Structure 1
Amino acid sequence: MEYALITGATSGIGYELSVLFAQNGYGLVLVSSSKEHLENTENRLNEQYSVPILIYEQDLTKQGAALELYNKIKQEKLDVTVLINNAGFGLVGATDEINLSIDEQMMMLNVINLVSLSKLIILDMYQNKKGKILNVSSTGAFQPGPYTSTYFASKAFVLSYSRAIRYEAKARGVQICILCPGATKTGFFRREGTTTPNKAMLPEQVARIAFRGLMKNKEIIIPGLKNRLLQLFPLKIKMLSVARMKKKKQRLK
């Protein structure tokens, strides 16, 4: 059986992607830092689907966590043909005001362990001459983000890195796609410390678009017409808009 490994799988886009892969007959390898949330998710999915589900509690904000996770999966001898690097979080504030330790944890999750897990899994995919990787970036990847500087930069890294390895992997039978969602009604904004925008997309909408794009091997997947149109604006205008919005949210915290 083919398995989809999904990080940040217990809520939001990650959970909705888990549902879609289960509906399409994939076994699931679900990863989260919360054992309780994993068990609740496993129970919910088991009520509706008969696919095998394996859960792994792993805090991907820690150095070396991706290798630890990979070694656990290898012990199970699972055929992971899809990797969804979905786990991530953001921070709002001027760069001198954001806690350094939390900023480092975010970069470890959003960048370092995403790269590590991609590198480890892609080696197996190359051996098998098949596989799909979906790395979750953001519309924030397309411009710098004042008052959310490290987060936007981390997502710009994900976009650039994923496009590069997509080029490398093409001749090896492996597909790399990048999901760049805009505002989505998940726990992201709560963790960021701000309110969810009223016009944010539903996670199930984003997940459906992401799943279709991945299966069609679309390079960059931007859910929502508004989010796609926004990319036509000049970079400086987008950057000023981000700065005003995030600074206002910071004052409201």
Structure 2
Amino acid sequence: MAEDAQTLVDAGCDASDQGRHREAEGLFRRAVDLGEEWVWFNIGNELRAQGRLTDAVKAYQRALAAGETDAWLNLGACLDDLGDLVAAMDAYRGAAAAGDLTGYVQLAHLLREHDEGELAVEALSTAAEEGSDLAAAVLACWEWDRTLDPTLELRLRAGAEHYSSARADLADLLRSTGRPEEARAELERGCAAGQRDCWLPLGNHLADHAGDPVAAEAAYRAGIDAGDSNCHHNLAILLLDLGRTHDAITHLRAGADAGDALAARALRDVLDERDDT
């Protein structure tokens, strides 16, 4: 019985959703063999999930050659991970030119990371003018970080559904203008909506402002489970205050291993202090 390309693609997507990336890759390659060249995009995603970034780049390039413009963003991310910043920027520009305004946003983040702030703002402004709610939200966050201007409240509120940092910054604004309960409610709303970046500030709020270390610990642990490795450091500081040094060291090690410089520094300080006693 002859294979059907769409059936193979559907089966590959199911395997990918279940984390069986090698199996998914094989299914997608069989679809390509049946003439569905656009499926190189899916192959690129599976290669990327396996950490085979160079091969993923080649797959995305083949997808683009077949007219699959959705591959631009993922190509840019792979090139960024590989350290090819110029090519990554070109890929993000390709996404924007193809009509995906997220390309401007990714380009802006990359430009800002490399001290090209004016060009980054220009890219975001272009995307926002063309209707990108995400770009408008990122712009509002950058302005809040720079100015702490409370008149940004409406812009941050508008961006909160589109960008988790906008909700976190909105909570910061609410707290700084004497509305701590509203701030907490915003962060809890973000956590419930799956906005990972809200767990850390919620934990901080519960620890520093609400005086509830039990709830703060639960928030930090939820943030860790959601993939925010920065929560390890803040949880460890809380645990140290509670006298739970062993558990604190475990989390500082985890944070340091994840690349958190604050956790690494705190770990050294804790171990040095322990050796001196």
Q: TM-score, normalised by structure 2?
A: 0.31
Higher relative contact order (CA 8 A, sep 6+): 1
User: Relative to total residues, which structure has the larger helix share, 1 or 2?
Assistant: 2
User: Relative to total residues, which structure has the larger strand share, 1 or 2?
Assistant: 1
Bigger Rg, structure 1 or 2: 2
